[in-house]
Each structure stands twice: as structure tokens, then as C-alpha cells.
Structure 1
Amino acid sequence: MATGDEPLQFRVLGTFEVTRGSRRCTPTASKQRALLALLALHANEFVATSRIVDQLWSRGAPRSAIAALHGYVTAVRRVLTPGLTSARTSHPVLNTRPSGYMLCLEPHQLDLTRFRQLVKQAQAEIAAGDCGQAREMFTAALGLWRGSPLADLRETGMFDHDISRLEKEYLELLRSRFDVMLCQGDGHLAVFELEELCAKYPLWERFHEQLMLALCQAERRADALNAYARAYRVLSSAAGIEPGPRLRAMHQVVLSGDDPRHWHDHRHAGLRVAHSVSL
């Protein structure tokens, strides 16, 4: 653990931040901040020097890149642990390894690790049939997000792939949370959020399907049919495709007047979405 009364805290699910208690420890220089963000995204993993250089200098690294990287590492260590005088290979957080580096963190020090742990625990609760506990964990995981991941580094273009991956994890979290809400018959509470998500991510068919179920639970079957019509228009015009089999099947269930309570979601092992719909 790093020196000091409190452990360092790293946050990537929003603007990149490093703090120790109330003290900010985020490097101000752009390359140093990007270096530390990259290592935080791969906490407790070896990251090769060549990979770091490629990411920090995506348009062609200068001949001095390796020397510059060594200087950035030294500067970052000083920010993380002011006054530490130990050798660079024994730094308590940012370790030097042969041909690379490793940021050594406990799970509670990185918001991304806590987020993934909560999601994994929620999925285990779903498998055990406890939707209520799963919902609490999904909500806690959602609370760790403070905005767009690495928002202050987005314009650098260095983290496009990482940001895209994290945003997908965020959307998957929302999808799972809505599944649980629908499982508990609380679709009426999700209508507004799902309408916004369908508008923002029109090609995510799962959100359209969930919106239709939520509207049914809110006793708005006609609106559910209208939601399908909108999804059909968006998918056909934006992507040149028709709705997939899941969304078409949901449309048939609503159109025929059948009770959607027995619509089962097998996406999560053990989760049976018994949607309580007032018809």
C-alpha cells in the first residue's frame, strides 16, 4: 500500500481522478495523466513499454519516447507518493517490470474494479433467484458512474477503444437492471428512462423490447404497439434492417392480446422474467 494515512483512490468512470482522502493526486500534465489512466484501466496487469508508447504517441513516437516515458513515470510516482525516496523498482504502487510497468491496486482503490465486482455479484443473485438483491447491487454499480468514462481524456483520441468498451459495459448494466425491474413488476418506473435510451441508442433492440414490456406493465398496451412501430421505422431507415426475432416476438405477444407475464428472458442464467402486466 502507498504511504500515507489513506489509500489512493482511482476513478475512471467519469473524469479521470486520483485522490488520497481530500487531496487530489491527479497529474496535471496530459501525457502523465494519460499514462496513469492507461495503467489504471489495466490495474494489476503487466503493460509493456511498447504498448504504452504506441498509445501515448499514436501518430508516431519520437526517438526520445522511451526516455520521455521514464521521465513521466518518475513524475507520476512523485505525485502519487510525495517524499518517497525508495528505488523505482520497489515503488509501492507503480512498479517497474522488465520491459513494462504495473499499477498495483487493491480492489477497493479502483471504481472500475468495484463496478465489475458488483455486476458479477448481481448476476450471481439473479442465478440464485433473488431479483431484489440483484437490483440493489446493480443500482450500487450504477452509482459509481459520474459521467462519460475518461471524459477529460476523450479528445486525445488515445482511449477511443477503452471508452467504447466501458460505455458498452454501462449499457449492459442498464439493460440488466431494467430486466430485474421488469421481473419485479416495476416497469412503470422504467418507462421514462427507457424512452430516453431508445432515442439515444436506437439500434439497441433490447431497450425497445424492454420499453414495450414496461409500457404493458404501466397498462399502456397501445403505447407499446406504437413503440414497436417507432423501433421498426428507426431500424429500417438507420440500419436497413428489420427488428430481430426477440423484438418481433414481443410485438406479436402484445398485438395478440396475450399475457406477457410468461415472456421468459434466458439472457441471464436462472432469470425468469415473470412480468406482472395488468391487462
Structure 2
Amino acid sequence: MSVSGLEGREISIRTFGSLELHSQDAVFEIPSGTKLRSVWAALVIDPGSTVSMETVAEIVWGAKQPKRSRESVHVYISQLRAFLDSCGEFPGLIETRSGGYRLAVDKLDVDWCAFDEAMKTARPKARAGDLDGAWKDFESALALYRGPFLSGLSDSPQLEAAVNEMNELYLACLEQRNEVMLARGDVAPLIRELLKLTRQFPVRETMHRQLMRALYLSERQIEALEVYNRLRHTLQGDYGVEPGRQVRNVHQSILERDCDAIREMIFV
């Protein structure tokens, strides 16, 4: 499979936005019920691997497990299998293994894994100067993002950690794609998106730094400086801190009209 998406796969599993399974002919949403969906999440965050009964129970109930948690996990697995059988598209998707269960899929059948793979492909291309190839791979990853990861499922520490990690990976993908667009000179569409992103993430310094650079490269120096001032005002007023070193460096480069420093790609 190319990392351009999940289209063309016999099945695909969606964890961004609604929890869904896709076949070539139909879409099926995982039935409602937090515990049932948490059991599904326990399998889908580690596809292709055996997930122990203890891990599933810990993900579903955390430290406050009921006395008969193992029996309850069996019940939820049976309910998931009944749902999969009713779809008529996914025979044998959940396998029983010694001490646990396994989601019998290729990792790239799962959208978050395909997202991660696309990012891993894009980064070395960007660093090697293949900006067009990197941009395509970053865009392929972002096309898979249809909404929050495991939406509504963050009650347990394990799921909360998985959600936080994926949220950060998504933001990193946006920011690294933006760096490639700056290097390619795609500043006009980037400015439009960064204006939205900086409103959505008012203290995300990397996005503000990128907006400052894009505006300056579009000969909008005053607006670039205003972005810095707004960020500094927000950080000082709400948190009592100054912008970080990289933002301050871009601000200084704008004041000094140092275009080379402003164009330099930054990957963290």
C-alpha cells in the first residue's frame, strides 16, 4: 500500500473521528457504549499484536476493575464479534490468542498507523531536500485525519496517553508540512491556513513563528510583527512568560530583514 491513504484496501479501520470499519462497499460504525468501544480501542491502538486480557481490563476500567473483569471482557469481545459477523464483511477480525486477543489486520489497514507511516516517510524527504515528495506525504497523512483520535474515549490513563500522543503527532504533522510549504514558497495558501490555526491554538509558538515568516516573505512585515506582539501579550498576560527563543529569533530576523534566516526550514 502507498502511504497516500487507505483507499483501495479491502478493509480499513478508522480511529480519527467516528470509530468505523470500511469495506470497499460499506461503512460500519462501532456500536455505542463506552466500555464496548474501549475494548475495541484496546485492540486498535496495537493492531496485529496480542493484547493481554490484563491490558484490556486496565484500559477499560483503570485501577478500579470489577471483580469479574475478565468475564466482562469476554462478554464485550463476544458482542464485538457478533457485530462484525452482522456486517458480513470482517470474518475472523478478532482472534483469540493465549492470554488475550489480537486484531488480525495489517497495521496499514488502520488509519492512525497509515498516518504515522506517511509522516515517517515525509520527514527524511524534507531533510534531503525533496520538498515535493515530502509535501505529498504530509498531505497524505493529513487527509487521513477526519477528527479527534478515539473521540470520547480517554477515561483510562492508557487511552488518555494514546489520545494525547496522537494529538501531538497531528500538530507536529501540520507544523512540519508548513515548514515544507514555506521552503517551497507556497506562502499565500499557508497564510490563510495559519491565520485559522493560530486562532485555534493561541499559544502554539511554532505556528505563530511560521505565520510571522510567511507574512514577512509576502512583504507584510508590519502584520508579521503584530503576530509577535499578540503572542507576546497572550503569553505574558495569561502565563507570565516571554515567547521562546525561536520565536524571538524570527522576530529579530524580521527587524534585521534577514530573509535567509527566515526561509531556513526548522524541524524539531
1:240 matched to 2:221: no
Instruction: Give the letter for the 1:127 counterpart.
Output: R
8 Å CA contact 2:232–2:243 kept in 1: the answer is yes
8 Å CA contact 1:206–1:247 kept in 2: the answer is yes
* Alpha-carbon distance in 2 for matches of 1:109, 1:96: 20
Q: How does 1:186-225 map to 2 (within 5 A)?
A: 186-225=186-225
Question: How far does residue 83 in structure 1 lie from its aligned partner after superposition?
Answer: 9.9
C-alpha deviations, 1:80-137, integer Å up to 9, x for none? 24599xxxxxx83222233222212113421111111111111132133110111111
Between stretches 98-107 and 242-251, larger displacement belongs to: 98-107
Who is 1:277 aligned against? none
8 Å CA contact 1:188–1:217 kept in 2: the answer is no
1:48 matched to 2:52: yes
8 Å CA contact 2:15–2:111 kept in 1: the answer is yes
* Alpha-carbon distance in 1 for matches of 2:102, 2:261: 50
Question: How far does residue 29 in structure 1 lie from its aligned partner after superposition?
Answer: 4.0
Q: Can you give the 5+ residue segments of structure 1 that lack an aligned partner in the other structure?
A: 1-5, 85-90, 269-279
Matched residues, number: 255
1:100 matched to 2:100: yes
State the TM-score, normalizing by the size of structure 1: 0.83
8 Å CA contact 2:28–2:87 kept in 1: the answer is no
Who is 2:113 aligned against? 113
Who is 1:78 aligned against? 82
* Alpha-carbon distance in 1 for matches of 2:263, 2:145: 31
* Alpha-carbon distance in 1 for matches of 2:47, 2:130: 31
Between stretches 120-129 and 92-101, larger displacement belongs to: 92-101
Structure (1 or 2) with the larger CA radius of gyration? 1
Question: How far does residue 175 in structure 1 lie from its aligned partner after superposition?
Answer: 0.1
8 Å CA contact 1:209–1:250 kept in 2: the answer is yes
Identity %: 28
Q: Secondary structure at the match of 1:24?
A: strand
* Alpha-carbon distance in 2 for matches of 1:215, 1:259: 12
State the TM-score, normalizing by the size of structure 2: 0.86
Q: How does 1:81-160 map to 2 (within 5 A)?
A: 81-82=85-86, 92-151=92-151, 153-154=152-153, 157-158=155-156, 159-160=159-160
Instruction: Give the letter for the 1:19 counterpart.
Output: H
8 Å CA contact 1:49–1:99 kept in 2: the answer is yes
Q: Secondary structure at the match of 2:96?
A: strand
Question: How far does residue 263 in structure 1 lie from its aligned partner after superposition?
Answer: 4.4
Question: How far does residue 164 in structure 1 lie from its aligned partner after superposition?
Answer: 1.6
8 Å CA contact 1:122–1:133 kept in 2: the answer is yes
Who is 2:4 aligned against? none
Question: How far does residue 266 in structure 1 lie from its aligned partner after superposition?
Answer: 4.6
